[in-house]
Amino acid sequence: VPFGEIERFVERELGKPINEVFLEFDRNPLAAASIAQVHAGKLKTGEKVAIKIQRPGIEKILQTDVSILRGLAVLLERYIPETAPFNPSGLVEEFFHNTLYELDFRVEANNIRKIRANLKGHAKIVIPEVFSEFSTNRILVLEQFEGIRFSDRETLVTKGIKPMEIIETGCDAFFHMVMHDGLFHGDLHAGNLFVLPDGRIGIIDFGIVGRLSQRVQDSIISMF
C-alpha cells in the first residue's frame, strides 16, 4: 500500500499525526502480506518497533471472497455428493471465523502477552513486547527483532550458529506450548523465526494460534 495511504490510515487510527507518536517511521515496508504490512519505526522514547498495519479496506475484500467461497461450497455439496464427507460449507465457515480473529489485532496482542508469559522460563526464547498505548484493533506496535531469519540458512552457518542447537531449542519451546500450555503459535514458518545476536530465538507474528483442551493435550501426550 502506498505510504501516503498508510500514513493517513495510521493517523486516523491513533487520532494524532505520526510524528507525535514516532521519532522515526520507515516509508518502505519491511514485509507485506495479504492482511497487513509491517514498517520499521522508533518511538519517541527510543525503542525500535515493528508497526503492523492492516491493509485499508481488507475487511470488505475478505467479505466478498468468503461470499464467493460459500457459493462454491454450496454448489459442490449440491452437485458433487462425494464432497459431503469433507463438509465444504463447514470448511469455509471455519476459515472465515479464524480470519476474523486475524483482522482484530487486539486478539493477536493478547496472544502475544499470554505466550510471552507462558515462555518466560525459557531463557533462549524471546517473544516481542506489545506497546499497547500505540496499538488498536488495526495497528499493532511491537518490539522489533534484529537478527537472522531462519530462512537465511547460509548466513546462520557463516556466523557459526549450529542449526541443530537452534532446532532443539525451538522444538523444546513448541512442545512446551502444545503439551503444557495448550496455546501455541500456529504459523511457525522460517520467516517468523529469528536468531538474535545473542543466540536466542525470536518468534513473531501471532495472528494464528492453536488452542488445545486438556483432553486433546492428554491424547497427544499418550500418542507420544
Give the residue numbers marked as catalytic.
187
DSSP class of residue 16? Answer: S
- Neighbouring residues of 78: CB distance < 8 A, sequence distance ≥ 6: none
All three cell numbers of 109: 496482542
Sign of the torsion formed by the C-alpha atoms of 183, 187, 189 and 195: negative
- Give the number of other CB atoms < 10 A from CB of residue 148: 19
Burial of 189 (0-12, 13-18, 19+ CB in 10 A): exposed
Sign of the torsion formed by the C-alpha atoms of 162, 163, 168 and 173: positive
State which H helix or E strand residue 75 sits in.
Answer: helix 58-79
Beta bridge partners of 140: 52
DSSP class of residue 27? Answer: E
